[in-house]
Amino acid sequence: MAVVHILKQKGSDVVTVKPSDTVQTIVDLLARHRIGAVVVIDAKGGIAGIVSERDVVRAMAGNASGVLAKTASDIMTAKVRTCGLGDTESDLIALMTENRIRHLPVMSE
């Protein structure tokens, strides 16, 4: 099944943040929307990065104090893997397994 068909069933809403948004804001959004990641959008509307629950945990490891005041740009993964509407489930499984990631923003072609 292609990504385009998956999105028709699942929906295509994407929760985004700015690089300057705090980790507190991100954690609140993750909880409110019951999601595992937010996409960080730069001033031009492009993808600057992604912040996942794993990124938050990594930032807190060893020294949790002050993490909630840090910004998205402080903890985000800047090298974002993406997929396209025509990619198949098997393409996604391979990409996610190979790169040990759980979230793939979908880019329209």
Task: Tell me if 23 sits within 8 A of 56, measured CB to CB.
Answer: yes
Dihedral over Cα of 86, 92, 98, 101: its sign: positive
pLDDT confidence band for 109 (50 / 70 / 90): low
pLDDT tens, residue by residue, 14-59: 899 999 999 999 999 999 999 999 999 999 999 999 999 999 999 9
* Residue 43 exposed, middle or buried by CB count within 10 Å (0-12, 13-18, 19+): exposed
Q: What is the pTM of this model?
A: 0.86
The amino acid at residue 54 is R
* Residue 97 exposed, middle or buried by CB count within 10 Å (0-12, 13-18, 19+): exposed
Q: If one looks up domain 3-107 in CATH, what number appears?
A: 3.10.580.10
Measured between its terminal Cα atoms, the distance across the chain in Å is 17
Please give the share of the chain, as a percent, with pLDDT higher than 90: 64
